[in-house]
Structure 1
């Protein structure tokens, strides 16, 4: 993997760059649609590529490991071929899913033991095994195995967890560096900064992660319930330390405003289930604010879903029709709303990049944050 930093904003830490992988280029800043189980829910691959204009999607190690299972992925030649996607893929290590299974898992130095949410079967994820799983999945960018701490989290737990994540990272790197890719192209390992919402721990973790000198770095353990101001504060602490010449990935974030504020802090990569999950519940993100399409005010509104939208669904369907579909719980309604939201997120980061390149990002961001906070 290669990262080229192309332009920095003079009034913030926002940057525009290009990540080059075996499956193509990624122009940053970028948002990655979440395809947890090898699918972005309700959206065909050609729509993700051609209409939404995603440059990279995300899969999840925990879910793909449980089904379709590794033997099927290996026989297919990896996840790219299994889902017929020829652009880059990133896989989360499954650490967040293990964290979310708080009643079903035990974490110790060896790794994390958990019960499957599907059939209750017992499994053990060690740092080494998670590297092997992600080799089999075949993503271009893979994540180190870490523990994602809850919020709130007491200082002692956060500190002990952070140190264990660092020890696990060493084991991840050793396993990754001693094994080869399975499908004839290179993979890249990103470490993950932890430390909850404690400045000194975040600083310590960022310094430790940077010392491993991998090709990119991630920030985890945020967007787990903490106030936005704390997220931004921790992000700023970390981006002040992580090297400028490598991409920075903020995991699991977030709202459109979160994206813009964190781009201004020097973040290059994002992923979040929000645009797809909220779409299925009838919330639409637009450049003018958010729309709850289930509100009665849209019942007779035959205007396009979003006259400023970039997706074909925005002009092809009306608000009244989409409201009817969502209220009726028709699958097509969820599909239309999902395509709209993902296309909007990709437009937002692409426009942010253009503003950075043009030297106008700072003023544009201030205007956009005001607009995005409106409820229509």
Structure 2
């Protein structure tokens, strides 16, 4: 019996003194976010923003495996398979795609989180990937732990980092954001703090007491009592060669520079990138570089919405999800890459993402 068939709410809420908790509640799928969950979170945040009795919102995931493994990838695969296999699908919007409707509301949620008027405490414990980054890393109080494994893994499935991920990664110095976006590397809590993607390190064993203290004593007091110094970041220690290699103008140039560095880590990085979708890599590189010049997160999300919908039309997304998630053969057959095709991902849509009510 599936989680949904037993009518268990996919988002739970709890009152904790002056705080309110949002609990992502699909533990069997590591709390993967679907459209219903995004809508529910947005409604609760809007409600609590106007409630003077609420001082803080705390977001965390049910179960032991993590905050959120991303979006409902199986549903997205169905959509991508139908659209990429239809020669008449020349463009796409929320009228003809469930994924487009989901992303429209999800990206608006990401923007709302980034400007939330109260303390928004995201507990980034365990697996935090894709959409999980979107509902956590835009918050104003971001907590990582010794169990955190954060990633934007999209290029491995023929997709491009979204949910404001290109905005976040483009602002990480020394090429570390490009590294994370192009390799889909798993980042530990210490890495996330060193990269500016998180703010405080709380040992996982202290999380229940920490969450309770937020409601009882306030966010600042809870952080003062339970946050500890993060370990050294292994990724930040490699910033020297990463900065040099990822300054190249093209994907092939980045791979070549990694081989020139020649260390085990650099060579492995080159091989990792080379195995990803060539189209997704090129679009990701351009997305990250354009996002670096955006004035607002909303500017980035408009571009990401265009890119995400065009990915649904490209065969690499359906093929990448098939290989990694559906059949799990880990052997995708990527489409032939053409640099001339990249521009089409960024063209305006018939109905672009908007942020008005």
TM-score in same-fold range (> 0.5): no
Answer 1 or 2: which has greater helix percent.
2
TM-score normalised to the size of structure 2?
0.28
TM-score by length of 1: 0.27
